[in-house]
A and B are shown apart, each in its own frame.
Chain A
Amino acid sequence: QKEVEQNSGPLSVPEGAIASLNCTYSDRGSQSFFWYRQYSGKSPELIMFIYSNGDKEDGRFTAQLNKASQYVSLLIRDSQPSDSATYLCAVNIGYGQNFVFGPGTRLSVLP
């Protein structure tokens, strides 16, 4: 059984702080990694993806991947109340379009 795990939260951070969201996966053959943001009552939207070990930055978001540790994280700098949402980690295990999603971490940014 391929698994993706995340802390369900809620993770609460003050406005302006760095929010750190973590994800671990069980399949060493996993090839690509995605972070989706889902506002309450809305559908998920892609915010970051990463394929290679290391960091990838896009604006206030940084994705970090460590394949040896089977660990991927999302950092949100200068967190804003509008970042309050559930963040879903998704892993593509490398053949076809077989994505496995984690249960999501609920983030609350406090003004």
Chain B
Amino acid sequence: DVKVTQSSRYLVKRTGEKVFLECVQDMDHENMFWYRQDPGLGLRLIYFSYDVKMKEKGDIPEGYSVSREKKERFSLILESASTNQTSMYLCASSAQDTLLGEKLFFGSGTQLSVL
């Protein structure tokens, strides 16, 4: 069965802390994504990766970085957390894209609160 696992369901951090969100998939997918979801704004893409050690900026990369050292693991890093980064963070993966794209499988999400 398809599985994308995010390390924490809820996380509370202080302003200025460095925050790591971990995501692991067991489907041998090439592509992995980090989204944040806010009420009324839908899902917005932060970063994605289509191969190990490769990364591409999404629509809202500011204040975030990512790491993909192994195919199955994609980490999102908040270098210095701020209150406007309080959000639901969703990791997703997909197989190598065809011309028309492939479906996304999502993790269960991490609700991050920055105080």
Contacts and interface: CB of A to CB of B under 8 A. Distances in A.
Partners in one complex: yes
Interface residues of B, number: 26
B103 A43 contact: no
- Interface size for chain A: under 10, 10 to 19, 20 to 34, or 35 or more residues? 20 to 34
Contacts of B25: none
B99 interface: yes
Contacts of A74: none
B108 interface: yes
A46 interface: yes
Interface in B70-106: 90, 94, 97, 99-106
Interface in B17-49: 31, 33, 35, 40-45, 48
Contacts, number: 60
Contact of A103 (B35, B40, B48, B94): B40
B97 A46 contact: no
A79 B11 CA distance: 36
Given A43-B107, A96-B50, A101 B42 contact: yes
Contacts of A98: 45
Contact of B103 (A8, A46, A104): A46
Interface of A: 4, 8, 31-32, 34, 36, 42-46, 49, 51, 88, 90, 92, 94, 96-99, 101-104
